[in-house]
Copies of this chain bind each other. A is one copy, B any other.
Amino acid sequence: MSVQISSQLGVCQRCGSSDVCFTGAYKANAQSMPHKTYQRKSSLYFMGDPFTAIYILRSGSAKSFINTAEGNEQISKFYFSGDMIGLEGFDNMIHTQSVSFLETSSVCRISLPEFNRAMSESHEVRQRLLKSMSHSIIDEQLLLMSMTQYSSEQRLLKFLLDLSARFKQSGLSEQIFHLTMTRIDIANFLGLAIETISRLLTKMDSQGLIKVNNRQITLCDISHLRRCLVKQVA
């Protein structure tokens, strides 16, 4: 249900991460050190760049966006640790979006040859990738549904709950967490006005549903909030 989150295949073992790497089955020769650190506001790649690798976010957070014909930036997804980045490149072997980091982050790079070799050699790798992309498609559709069917308050609530679930999955608190993105980013992503985001956060705070302290969010009763998402539609 963590909808705005990309495909997850686990973090690469070559990087020493504890999680399982989808290329793990194919015992990479680990002379190369494929991970790299990026600063806040720096970019992993830009729209139009040739597609040469996929990436796994080891730590930190990022956003992907496209530059619209009108010169605006439109955020399509937020990424957190464990997420795969770059899968959209397979279509035309060119990146169709840009990715930049919201905070200092570490990334594992898997070149296309490495990737293809793993794909050809291991059924398990293929299954993981299919599962991951399948999951990604499902999430996109759920997100799309939320966008078209939910009220602004429900959209924001879903966004917060998705973040919460994502943080929990990363071993962080699902109840108290820090937003690494600005209100502007949130509004852009959710298709709402910044003012609306601000008003809704204030409102939900005063209703006792959440606590807002700048970018620190506390979800008071997660299961109650989940019920809100369902009930208010009926």
A211 at the interface (CB under 8 A from B): no
Cross-chain contact of A147 among B88, B134, B148 (Cβ < 8 A): B148
A228 at the interface (CB under 8 A from B): no
Are B230's CB and A90's CB within 8 A? no
Instruction: Give A129's nearest chain B residue, CB to CB.
Output: B130
Are A137's CB and B138's CB within 8 A? no
Instruction: Give A7's nearest chain B residue, CB to CB.
Output: B137
A44 at the interface (CB under 8 A from B): no
5 contacts between A and B (CB under 8 A): A76-B141, A116-B123, A119-B126, A126-B126, A140-B140
Would you list which residues of chain A between 132 and 156 have a CB under 8 Å from chain B? 133-138, 140-141, 143-145, 147-149
Which residues of chain B are within 8 angstroms of A87 by Cβ–Cβ distance?
Answer: 133-134, 137
Q: Mark A46-75, 1 if CB is under 8 A from B, else 0.
A: 000000000000000000001011101010
